[in-house]
C-alpha cells in the first residue's frame, strides 16, 4: 500500500526553485518506508552533546595556556619578580598536569589502574606546585634560577 507524502515535510530547509515546484508535488512512498521517514524527523536533545562541548572547552583551555606560556617565558626573562615566579609555577604545573593526564588517558587501561594513575597524577601535580612555590618563597625564584643557569 502506498502513502502520499509531501516532500516539504521531509525537507524543511529548501529555497527558491525547489520550494516552489518540487515541494508542492506529492511523493509516493510505500507504507513500510513511511515509518522510516517519520523517524528521520526526530531531533536529538542538546544534552547528548554536552560531553563533546566539555572536551572542546578543555582543548581550547589547553591551547590558550600553551599560547600564554609562549608569551610568559620571554616576559619572565625581561621582568623577573614574585608575580612572574608564581604565575610560572601555576602555568607550568597546570600545563604538565594536563599533558600527563592525556598520557594517562591514552595508555592506562583498566578501572583500578586508571583511578590509581589519576590519583598519582593529582598528587604529583600538587607536590610540584608546592615545591615550586616553596622554591619561589625560600630561594631566588624560578626567573632568577633560570637566569643563573644561563649565566654559567
Residues within the annotated binding site for heme b? 95
124 contacts 94 by C-beta, under 8 angstroms:
no
Question: What is the SS3 assignment for the chain?
Answer: CEEEEEHHHCCCCCCCHHHHHHCCCEEEEEHHHHHHHHHCCCCCCHHHHHHHHHHHHHHHHHHHHHHHHHHHHHHHHHCCCHHHHHHHHHHHHHHHHHHHHHHHHHHCCCHHHHHHHHHHHHHHHHHHHHHHHHHHHHCCCHHHHHHHHHCC
Residue of 98, 82, 62 whose CA lies nearest to 132: 82
Annotated binding site: 95, 107
What residues are designated binding site for a ubiquinone?
Answer: 107
Amino acid at each position: 500500500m502506498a502513502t502520499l507524502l509531501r516532500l516539504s515535510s521531509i525537507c524543511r530547509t529548501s529555497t527558491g526553485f525547489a520550494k516552489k515546484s518540487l515541494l508542492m508535488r506529492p511523493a509516493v512512498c510505500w507504507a513500510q518506508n513511511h515509518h522510516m521517514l517519520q523517524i528521520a524527523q526526530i531531533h536529538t536533545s542538546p544534552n547528548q552533546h554536552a560531553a563533546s562541548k566539555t572536551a572542546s572547552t578543555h582543548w581550547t583551555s589547553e591551547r590558550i595556556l600553551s599560547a600564554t606560556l609562549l608569551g610568559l617565558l620571554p616576559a619572565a626573562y625581561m621582568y623577573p619578580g614574585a608575580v612572574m615566579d608564581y604565575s610560572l609555577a601555576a602555568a607550568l604545573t597546570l600545563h604538565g598536569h594536563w599533558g600527563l593526564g592525556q598520557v594517562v588517558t591514552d595508555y592506562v587501561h583498566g578501572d583500578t589502574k586508571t583511578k590509581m594513575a589519576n590519583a598519582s597524577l593529582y598528587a604529583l601535580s600538587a607536590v610540584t606546585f608546592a615545591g615550586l612555590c616553596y622554591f619561589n618563597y625560600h630561594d631566588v625564584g624560578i626567573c632568577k634560577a633560570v637566569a643563573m643557569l644561563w649565566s654559567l
